[in-house]
Amino acid sequence: MTRFLRKIRNDQTAIPWSVFLVGVLLLLLRVTLVDAGDAEEKPRLIDTYRPPQHIEIPRPVPVEHPGSERLEASIRRGVDYLCGKQNKNGSWGAARRTKGLDIYAPVPGAHHGFRAAVTCMAVTALIQSADDRAAVQQAIDRGEVWILEYLPKVRRANATALYNIWAHAYSMQTLLLLRERAGDDKEKVERINQNILDQIELLTRYESVNGGWGYYDFTVGAKQPSSIVTSFSAATCVIELQRVRAAGFKLPAAVTDKAVRSIKRQRKPDFSYLYGAHHWFKPMYSINRPGGSLGRSQVCNLALRRDGDQGVTDQVFVDWLDRLFARKLWLDLARKRPIPHESYFAVAGYFVYYAYYYGSGCMLELPEEQQAFYKAQFAHLLLGLQESDGCWWDFPLYDYHQSYGTAFAIMTLVRCR
């Protein structure tokens, strides 16, 4: 070290000695402060809901529930669409181009992840619809065969694209439903249980070193992903891991604990959430404001509430559900736009049915007497958005969008019965 310092001092082209010394001192000071912080307590995260006092939370006007007959007819049309859209091999979706500009999706791995996620969502929607027609049950059977064969093979597409996390996450609810459907078939139940354990292991493997999950990782060369963690993808995975834990499966507590902490780091006082951890230094960028967070505050609040976060009160759910319906214009303006984040508040089209699905999950956390108001809102809205062929879609994504949009809508509508 002495020889190195002497070389620096004698090198006329090097930085001035005084500047070097200041740099060393600042580095030592930073290390000391970090160590001191670790030795005491963790940095305090936002845990109290503090909506701005000068902003009035918008409230939606009441609407009439469309009624059971219209609701069931809408669900049935969506179910018929999914059954007709199923591929011959039992899956849903394909890598067909739907527009001149498609999102980054390296073949074939990205599409393995997309197809597995969408297939799981479609099977979940069909099961939850409780439609006992033979054609529907056969579609579920074919989907089950595909899932049990191909889901275990899904991995990250390459060093940068981790769309596989959606498959690992959305498969968990599907597998639990298939396990229940298997009844006394012990061999199938055991196979499904092993699939669930595999998906838990894969989500654990692909969690970012920073805690949580993202679908891009541009730090090429890292064995464990150091992903661009997004609040909503972390929340999605946390909800599904909570689901399988509640069903009796064991998973490392550190996996969800780190993810929950990453979501809280991205929470603002009004319980809007940063799009991702990479937006830490621009919290007032358009997508991080309430209009931009409209599609993800629902899933983040739901994940944290189910984790035991007492800061997510019923009032938080009410305020953000009211915002969801009173300000749905920000989602609707982005719906069907072909370029991600080109709309107001940088909202992307694929936020739409995702937001409504997790919003309906927040609704079910409220006391029963409060749910009727929001069931009417969700049913009224989604029936109005259903396409003439029975599907729902919000963003052209190869050939996956109509299937995932329809699945999200059905899974939302069955909660409005």
For residues 82 and 372, what is the distance between their CA atoms, to the nearest angstrom?
Answer: 28
Q: What is the pLDDT of residues 325-349, one digit of tens each?
A: 999 999 999 999 999 999 999 999 9
> Is residue 22 left, alpha or beta, with left meaning phi > 0 and alpha meaning psi from -120 to 50?
alpha
pLDDT given at position 337: 96
Domain ranges of the chain: 1-41, 42-416
pLDDT given at position 5: 43
Mean pLDDT on 198-218: 95
Q: What is the pLDDT of residues 57-106, one digit of tens each?
A: 999 999 999 999 999 999 999 999 999 999 999 999 999 887 778 899 99
Please say whether the beta carbons of 323 and 356 come within 8 A.
Answer: no
The candidate with the shortest Cα–Cα distance to 273, out of 258, 240, 295, 256, is 295
Angle at 332 between CA 328 and CA 336, to 5 degrees: 155
What is the pLDDT confidence band of residue 184, given thresholds at 50, 70 and 90? very high
Q: What is the pLDDT of residues 117-161, one digit of tens each?
A: 999 999 999 999 999 999 999 999 999 999 999 999 999 999 999
What is the pLDDT confidence band of residue 23, given thresholds at 50, 70 and 90? low
Q: What is the pLDDT of residues 226-262, one digit of tens each?
A: 889 999 999 999 999 999 999 999 999 999 999 999 9
Number of H helices, E strands in the chain: 16, 0
For residues 291 and 65, what is the distance between their CA atoms, to the nearest angstrom?
Answer: 26
Angle at 89 between CA 414 and CA 121, to 5 degrees: 25
More reliable by pLDDT, 15 or 287: 287
Q: Domain spanning 42-416 has what CATH number?
A: 1.50.10.20
Asked whether residue 169 carries a pLDDT value surpassing 60, the answer given is: yes
Asked whether residue 13 carries a pLDDT value surpassing 50, the answer given is: no
Asked whether residue 208 carries a pLDDT value surpassing 60, the answer given is: yes
What is the pLDDT confidence band of residue 25, given thresholds at 50, 70 and 90? low
What integer best gives the mean pLDDT of the chain? Answer: 91
For residues 16 and 100, what is the distance between their CA atoms, to the nearest angstrom?
Answer: 55
The residue with tokens 């940095």 is 43
What is the pLDDT confidence band of residue 44, given thresholds at 50, 70 and 90? low
The candidate with the shortest Cα–Cα distance to 395, out of 83, 114, 112, is 114
